[in-house]
Amino acid sequence: MYQGKDVEIYAGKKLLEGEEEKAKELEKKNVLGDFIKRLFRHKGAVIGIIIIFLFIFTAVFAPWLTSYSYDKPDISVMLKAPCREHIFGTDEFGRDIFTRIVFGARISLKVAFISVVFSLVIGTILGAVAGYYGGVVDYVISSITDIAWSFPTTLLAIAFIAALGTGLENVIIAIVLASWSGYCRVVRGQFLSLKEREFVEAARVLGMSDARIIFRHILPNSVTPVVVMATLELPKAIVIEASLSFLGLGAQPPLPSWGVILDSGKGLLEQAPWISLFPGLMIMLVVLGFNLFGDALRDVLDPKS
């Protein structure tokens, strides 16, 4: 009798252990899986992801999506309204607007990503140093940041372009110089609050070097707001690039930047409104996509949700 009972208890224990193994497995997947699950439950995120994916796909596979050339004029099809051969119509040189927009996506996304990466790196490093070391270093860096922050981004970018000259590289430099201050402020704030946390003090007491504390302990904990901010800065960079190109300060014709196409259509708004309409729509759409995604990221990554 006793033995039978023992076996039963033993079996029960085994079962419990098995359950625990399963729970462990679940736990492993949870961190990333939970994040993705919550992201895809968010309507805005899904729409944003679809739009962003479409544009990235277009930019990457541009040459395979169209049979026309984006810069060769074809006088025979000048100013054609949207039709079967030219779904977005043609411009005053007979170039296919759809082709130009497809290749323009390359320019817009390239400029946006490169400038965001650079301003992110610069802003993060300066913000980390200012926030972690404090004192005079913080005072100097914060002052410069506040000065840079006080100018409207587009205006500052135009000022830099005026000094540097036109061209896509200079557009990137101008956007970086005009937008790093935002990251710097966010990262500095994160560092100021995180360095007072007990686990950072623990790391210091346990003998870690400053570099290790900054890169292993504080940065990983301050990454969330920075990622959200970078996502929301991408559409801003796209708009600045388009504005600069529209003003003739960015990409130069015949390069098919969306801003350039918009600009080229502004004199023909009555005869051929499609020249300006479609690039404008594209800018709106891609900005909407990134903003939806960024907002969703902020909601999903918020620990309080």
Partner 1 sequence: MSKSDIILEIKNLTKEFNVKTKLFGYGKTPTIKAVSDISFFVKRGETFGLVGESGCGKTTLGRCIVRGIDATSGQVMYYMEDGTKIDFLKAKEEEYKDLRKRIQMIFQDPYSSLDPRMTVYDIISEPLKACYKLSKPEIDDRVKEIGKATGLDISYLKRYPHAFSGGQRQRIGIARALITLPDIIVCDEPVSALDVSIQAQIINILKDLQAEYKMTYIFIAHDLSVVEYISDRVAVMYLGRIVELAPTEKMYSYPKHPYTEALLSAVPNPDPERKMRRIILQGEVPIPSNPPAGCHFHPRCPYRGKECDSVIPELYELEDGHYVACHYANKLRLSGIGQVQ
What is the dihedral sign for C-alpha 93, 95, 98, 101?
A: negative
Shorter beta-carbon distance to partner 1: residue 5 or 28: 28
Give the one residue of 24, 75, 84, 136 binding partner 1; rule: CB under 8 A. Answer: 24
Least separation in angstroms between residue 217's CB and partner 1 is 5
Query: Read out DSSP for 232-246?
Result: HHHHHHHHHHHHHHH
Shorter beta-carbon distance to partner 1: residue 202 or 285: 202
User: Which x/- pattern, by CB under 8 A, does the window 238-277 give for partner 1?
Assistant: ----------------------------------------
Q: Does 41 bind partner 1 (CB under 8 A)?
A: no
Where helices occur in the chain by DSSP H, the ranges are 2-41, 43-60, 62-65, 97-133, 135-149, 153-164, 168-194, 198-205, 210-212, 219-246, 258-265, 274-301
Give the one residue of 1, 2, 5, 27 binding partner 1; rule: CB under 8 A. Answer: 27
Size, binding site for partner 1 by CB under 8 A: 21
Shorter beta-carbon distance to partner 1: residue 1 or 206: 206
Q: What is the dihedral of CA 31, 32, 38, 39, to 10 degrees?
A: 150
Least separation in angstroms between residue 109's CB and partner 1 is 30
Least separation in angstroms between residue 214's CB and partner 1 is 13
Least separation in angstroms between residue 200's CB and partner 1 is 8
Distance CA 80, CA 78 (A): 6
Least separation in angstroms between residue 116's CB and partner 1 is 23
Distances (CA, A) of 217 to 89, 120, 187, 245: 55, 19, 14, 42
Distances (CA, A) of 209 to 82, 206, 215, 272: 64, 10, 10, 64
At position 106, the amino acid (one-letter code) is: R
Cα–Cα–Cα angle for 172, 253, 270, nearest 5°?
115
Least separation in angstroms between residue 193's CB and partner 1 is 12
Shorter beta-carbon distance to partner 1: residue 72 or 216: 216
Stretch that binds partner 1, among 27-35, 76-84, 86-94, 136-144 (CB under 8 A): 27-35
Shorter beta-carbon distance to partner 1: residue 4 or 220: 220
Q: Does 38 bind partner 1 (CB under 8 A)?
A: no
Show contacts with partner 1 in window 184-223 (CB under 8 A).
Answer: 197-199, 201-209, 212, 216-217, 220-221
Least separation in angstroms between residue 304's CB and partner 1 is 15
Closest C-alpha to 127, from 141, 139, 113: 141
- Residues β-bridged to residue 96: 90
Distance CA 35, CA 252 (A): 42
Shorter beta-carbon distance to partner 1: residue 107 or 300: 300
Least separation in angstroms between residue 216's CB and partner 1 is 7
Are 191 and 218 in contact by the 8 Å Cβ rule? The answer is: yes
Binding interface with partner 1 (CB under 8 A): 24, 27-28, 31, 197-199, 201-209, 212, 216-217, 220-221
